[in-house]
Amino acid sequence: MMEREDGTPHFHRLTSVESWSSDLSSDSCEYYQTEIFGLLPSSQAHRRLHTETITDDQDQSLLDRVSWNPSVPLRDLPVCLQVKRGIRERQPLQRRSIGYWDSWRRSQQKTRQRLKEHVGGALSGLLPWRHMLLKIEGQFGVGVKAYFIFLRYLLCLNLLYCVIIAGSVLIPTLVFAQDSRTHSSVGFQNFSFKDFFVGSGVLESSPVFHSFYTRGYLDLDCLNTPILFFLGMISVLFLSIILVVRRTVVGYKHSWLTGNRFSSNLSYKVFCGWDFCIQSPQAASLKQNFIRNELRMDLEEQTFQQRVQQRSLKHWVQLIFLRILLNFLVLVLLGSSFVLIYFAIQRSRVKCENHWTVCLFLEYLPPIAMTTVNYILPHVFSKISEFEDYSLTIQLNLTLIRSIFLKLASLGIYLFFFINALASQDQYKHHQCKENAFGKEMYKLTIFNLVECFFNAFCVAYPRMLLVKKFSSSKLMQLLGKKQFEISFNVLDLVNSQTVTWVGVFYCPLLPAINTVRLLLLFYVKKFTVVRCCVPPQRMFRTASSSVLFHFMLLLGLFMAVVTLVVNINRFDPAGCGPFEGNGNVLNVTRECINTLPDPVKTTLSYISSEAFAFALILAEVVILTSYVSRRRANRKAIERLKDMLVMCSSDKRFLVKQHSTIMRRQQRPR
């Protein structure tokens, strides 16, 4: 801080780029020569921690790296406006000092970066329901919006599956069909209402199920219907693994950066959170609601942290004992639900000779039992988590973990008993095609999920809203009130339905298309339920860690689908129907193709499938993971240093404000 000739104080801004070090420039050299620079808290901490200073050459190299970095736009540099102007003036001189090739390469890099930004902005503009999601975010918070974004992600994922299956499975089978009478429509004269829900009749011989896809005229060694079918399904599973793992890792990185050590700046949200480009009153109202929801969320987290710090040892002992009892109660409820599902499966396997409605009810008895259990117990788990005295985010995650274990375990029990029943020829002699029988079960689960969604929206939520609105003075209706949109339970339904799609896509190839239609209808039904039948949640939560948990649960469902597919391939005899008819094993179709390849190609494929290549691959993965762990540790240290920088910068600002106030008071004193 310097004083001009007229007596007014003159301040120069300190520009920091590396930890405690600062870049020297012609504008800030006078600042470093003043006495006040040595009094700054950051300078004193720098002397205590670092005894060696950075030389002028190192400072100049740091300035060069900041001033000329083609990958970072000038507006994104962490320096003040005066330094940016100096950088812009020096850039032509630096362009002259470099070669023609480097200049062309840097200009092309800038062009590619700008093109990537424009393409990304254009693609983001093509995403459906953007304005609708902004409205939902303003009225109900970020958590409800995260659910609809997750639903949109699954919808796009299933659309991608439809493109892959149509190109590799459906179109080749329709074009090269050997017998058009087999694949043509049998006619809807005998089509009944029951056939749509069960998947029997004309649907059983349609492209919906496994038996429709036969070899046909496309019967080359390495290009035939079985190979295309196998490659299409493997592509769907591998693509699912890549996309879900990538989404989970990206979300975890963001969650770790804004985790428990992340402290929100309330003053920034109050004074700098408004968007002055807003012109319409409706957008202004949405922005106000969004800022209010964020402030509520931050204040609730701070209140909970203060309450945790005030707990005594006696309170901690009582709380731990209570949590143990509640977890034991959760285990009892989970065991009881599994027993109920088992008895429902046993009852549905009894041969029905009654009216078709009774038989349809018995066939849907396991899905009804699973849906009933999955609807009631998550609400019980939510109430139990409230007594465990966790933060709202931990309560949500704990309820999600318990509920997803319930849903996946119930689905696993259902698949286990059904696969064992299909493997027994004595119990299921009437099933001519086991693959079709398994696909029908996944088809029934998907249809029943759609029916349950419509029933819950128009027969439960909407009548409840009408009753509360009409009898608003009634104490019972006031106690009942409008329902709140339960984010965790609705996300669990999405994960469960997507797991069913992954499990049954091999035996019901059009199941992703059915699930796409279901998700499209589900979006508008849920939007109607949220806007018309629900009230904004009374408590807010951060979606960073919960979004990671959403995708992690999706990854568990995908793992369950892969395990089920491997078990079915080993237990089912593929000689009955479908594209693998006549082969002893599904993998035999690839062996026939490999035997016709040249010797070098066969040698290469043999090495890739050997243990030596697997060992080399594992070793390479270990090296890559080690490098990433090292980078993670280095980034963690850099983040800690940057956080310390922010703290010291705040101390410097307070110190400078104090000094400025002192100088102004001295100037105002009468001489």
| Residue of higher predicted confidence among 79 and 522 | 522
Average confidence (pLDDT) over 263-288 = 69
112 has a pLDDT exceeding 50: yes
User: Is the confidence at residue 541, as pLDDT, over 70?
Assistant: no
- Parse the chain into domains and list their residue ranges: 130-179+194-260+324-598, 625-660
49 has pLDDT over 80: no
Residue 284, class by beta-carbon neighbours within 10 Å (0-12 exposed, 13-18 middle, 19+ buried)? middle
Residue 11 pLDDT class (50, 70, 90 cuts)? very low
Residue 39 confidence (pLDDT) above 70: no
Q: Please tell me the predicted confidence (pLDDT) of residue 3.
A: 42
What mean pLDDT do residues 350-368 have? 76
pLDDT at 22: 38
Nearest to 397 by CA among 411, 408, 381: 381
Q: And the tokens for 313?
A: 């040892």
pLDDT band at 517; cut points 50, 70, 90: very high
State the residue for tokens 């398994």: 438
Nearest to 385 by CA among 541, 551, 557: 541
> Is the per-residue pLDDT at 563 higher than 60?
yes
For residue 29, the model assigns a pLDDT of 41
User: What is the SS3 assignment for 280?
Assistant: coil
Question: Would you say the pTM of this structure is higher than 0.85?
Answer: no
Residue 45 amino acid letter: A
Which pLDDT score is estimated for 76? Answer: 65
Give the start-end residues of each E strand in 315-470.
Answer: none
Predicted confidence at residue 191, as pLDDT, reads 61
CB contact at 8 A, 519 and 128 = no
Average pLDDT of the residues in 555-574:
80
Average pLDDT, the chain: 75
Instruction: Please name every residue paired with 527 in a beta bridge, in sequence order, or none if there are none.
Output: none
pLDDT at 212 over 90: no
pLDDT of residue 229: 85
What gap in Å lies between CA 75 and CA 81, rounded to an integer? 9
What's the rounded mean pLDDT across residues 17-35?
41
How would you class 380 by CB atoms within 10 Å of its CB: exposed for 0-12, middle for 13-18, buried for 19 or more?
A: middle
Pairing state between β 16-18 and 21-22:
antiparallel
What average pLDDT does the segment 248-262 reach? 62
Neighbours of 265 (CB within 10 A): 11
Looking from the CA of 546 toward its CB, the CA atoms found within 13 Å total 27
The 3-state DSSP class for residue 420 equals helix
pLDDT for 601 beyond 70: yes
Task: Give CA 452 to chain center in angstroms.
Answer: 24
Q: Is 149 within 8 Å of 133 (Cβ atoms)?
A: yes
Q: Which comes out higher in pLDDT, residue 103 or 514?
A: 514
Q: pLDDT tens, 378-425?
A: 888 888 888 888 877 778 778 878 888 888 888 888 888 777 777 665
pLDDT at 158 over 90: yes
The structure tokens listed for 459 are: 């027969």
Q: Which helix (H) or strand (E) covers residue 122, if one does? A: helix 100-126
User: Rounded to an integer, what distance in angstroms lies between the CA atom of residue 666 and that of residue 662?
Assistant: 6
Provide the CB-side half-sphere exposure for 640 (13 A, CA): 6
User: Is 243 or 475 the better-scoring residue by pLDDT?
Assistant: 243
Q: Please state, in angstroms and as integers, the Cα–Cα distance from residue 266 to each residue in 109, 255, 257, 297, following that order.
A: 38, 19, 18, 11
By the 8 A CB rule, do 586 and 574 touch? yes
Mean pLDDT of 109-122: 79
Structure tokens at 36: 């006040």
> Averaging pLDDT over each range in 76-90, 144-158, 207-221, which range is the top one?
144-158
- Report yes or no: 575 and 582 within 8 Å, Cβ to Cβ: yes
User: Residue 619: what pLDDT?
Assistant: 92
Alpha-helix residue ranges (DSSP H) falling in 265-364? 266-272, 281-309, 313-348, 356-363
- Both tokens of 658, joined, read 């104090």
Judged by average pLDDT, the poorest of 98-102, 236-240, 260-264, 648-652 is 260-264
Which of 456 and 419 is assigned the larger pLDDT?
Answer: 456
- Is the separation of the CB atoms in 333 and 378 below 8 Å? no
Q: Which of 93-102, 456-465, 513-522 has the highest mean pLDDT?
A: 513-522
pLDDT tens by residue, 631-670 = 888 888 888 888 888 888 888 888 888 888 888 888 877 7
SS3 state at 364 = coil
Residue with tokens 């705040």: 650
Q: What pLDDT is stored for residue 10 in this prediction?
A: 41
Q: What is the mean pLDDT of residues 120-133?
A: 76
State yes or no: pLDDT of 603 exceeds 70.
yes
| Percent of the chain at pLDDT exceeding 90 | 7
Q: How far, CA to CA in Å, does 153 sit from each of 5, 117, 626?
A: 64, 21, 31
Q: Is 210:433 a contact under the CB 8 Å cutoff?
A: yes
pLDDT digits (tens, 9 = 90+) for 320-339: 898 899 889 988 988 888 88
Q: Determine the pLDDT at residue 564.
A: 84
Q: How far apart are CA 425 and CA 434, in angstroms?
A: 10
pLDDT the model gives residue 513 = 92
